[in-house]
């Protein structure tokens, strides 16, 4: 804590409370590299206003957390491994963090968490998050998470999560959320949205969960040119508890392949006399092999206005019950095919 520049390199730090605690407020970029921090409470804790360059670090077997960032500066984190963390492996609550080549394994809490009211930003690329007991990636604040080539596997609870009361967003591109667990189980939910922020998946595969996407907050789920497959129950469930408009708790799907569901493909529930929330846009997409109903809507909008199920340029096939079923809801189907339903 002071005015100088900190450089820590080439150490093995064992059995500490906090391996490195840096709260600097002035000076240049602090550099931490070529480090192993093992069997402590928290591996690295950052604060103050300084920038940090952290590379080639291994944070292992911590009883509280791996790396916690509260610095308002920019943190460059490259080639970092987290394993055996009892809490959350990587947390950022402020500033900008650019994380590349990150490996997270066997956390008892969350893999990655963005929190706080400071609109923290995390850019995560070329990352693997394996065997998290809670959520692999969670936004519990007002910040932004952007990921590219993020591989999420064997999460027990949720692949992605936004928490109630949060407004932060998550966007993944060219990524994978695979809930297959080695013991033969599957994740509880691929994407759990309890907050008001948007979750966007681009060219991303979501597979093997009890529920694919579960939206109870007012955020929008968007997916472009991806897939949702092998879901034990419902593929996408929209059930906002307190919607404020038609887009609360909604889904926009474009170029998406959906297949193999033990329940319904998409289920949307509006709220109140105006039927708010639960808007569905299913464009240039396909839905097949559904044990229940392909798209199920209830109380969406009022006649001719408000929330709507819109199916355009799409195919719905091989559903056990019905391709589309709506009650007291607006429905528009254009240029689409329904077969073997």
- The stretch 71-86 carries a mean pLDDT of 97
b/e for 178-198, b at 16 or more Cβ within 10 A? bbbeeeeebbbbbbbbbbbbb
Tokens of 250: 């909604």
Please tell me the pTM assigned to this model: 0.96
- pLDDT beyond 60 at 1: no
Residues shown for the chain: 341
The per-residue pLDDT of the chain, averaged, comes to 95
Q: How confident is the model at residue 5 (pLDDT cuts 50, 70, 90)?
A: confident
For the stretch 153-204, pLDDT in tens is 999 999 999 999 999 999 999 999 999 998 889 999 999 999 999 999 999 9
Q: Is the pLDDT of residue 40 over 60?
A: yes
Residues 138-156 have pLDDT tens digits of 999 999 999 999 999 999 9
Mean pLDDT score, 261-269: 98
pLDDT classification of 25: cutoffs 50, 70, 90: confident
Query: Which position has the higher pLDDT, 233 or 118?
Result: 233
| 285-334 pLDDT, tens digit each | 999 999 999 999 999 999 989 999 999 999 999 999 999 999 999 999 99
Q: Is the pLDDT of residue 137 over 80?
A: yes
- pLDDT value at 215 more than 90: yes
CA 48 – CA 241 distance, rounded (Å): 39
Q: How far apart are CA 147 and CA 157, in angstroms?
A: 20
Q: Which residues contact 183 (CB under 8 A, 6 or more apart)?
A: none
């Amino acid at each position: 804590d002071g005015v100088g520049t900190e450089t820590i390199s080439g150490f093995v730090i064992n059995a500490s409370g906090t391996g490195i605690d840096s709260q600097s407020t002035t000076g240049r970029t602090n550099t931490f590299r070529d480090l192993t921090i093992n069997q402590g409470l928290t591996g690295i804790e950052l604060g103050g206003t300084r920038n940090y360059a952290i590379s080639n670090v291994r944070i292992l077997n911590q009883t509280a957390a791996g790396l916690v960032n509260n610095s308002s500066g920019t943190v460059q984190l490259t080639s970092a491994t987290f394993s055996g963390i009892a809490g959350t492996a990587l947390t950022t609550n402020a500033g900008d963090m650019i994380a590349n080549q990150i490996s997270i394994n066997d956390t008892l809490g969350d893999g990655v968490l963005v929190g706080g009211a400071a609109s923290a930003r995390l850019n995560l690329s070329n990352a693997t998050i394996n065997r998290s007991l809670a959520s692999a990636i969670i936004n519990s604040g007002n910040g932004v998470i952007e990921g590219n080539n993020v591989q999420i596997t064997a999460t027990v609870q949720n692949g992605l999560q936004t928490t109630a009361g949060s407004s932060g967003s998550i966007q993944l591109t060219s990524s994978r959320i695979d809930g297959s667990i080695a013991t033969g189980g599957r994740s509880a939910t691929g994407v759990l949205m309890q907050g008001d922020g948007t979750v966007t998946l681009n060219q991303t595969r979501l597979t093997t969960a009890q529920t694919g996407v579960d939206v109870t907050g007012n955020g929008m789920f968007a997916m472009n040119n991806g897939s949702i497959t092998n879901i034990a129950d419902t593929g996408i469930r929209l059930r906002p508890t307190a919607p404020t408009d038609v887009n609360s708790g909604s889904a926009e799907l474009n170029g998406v392949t959906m297949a193999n569901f033990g329940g319904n493909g998409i289920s949307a529930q509006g709220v109140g006399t105006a039927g708010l929330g639960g808007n569905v846009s299913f464009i240039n997409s396909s839905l097949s092999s559904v044990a229940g109903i392909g798209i199920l809507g209830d109380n969406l909008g009022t006649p001719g206005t408000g929330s709507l199920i819109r199916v355009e340029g799409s195919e719905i096939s091989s559903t056990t019950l019905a391709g589309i079923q709506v009650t007291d809801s607006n429905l528009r189907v254009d240029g689409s095919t329904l077969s073997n339903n």
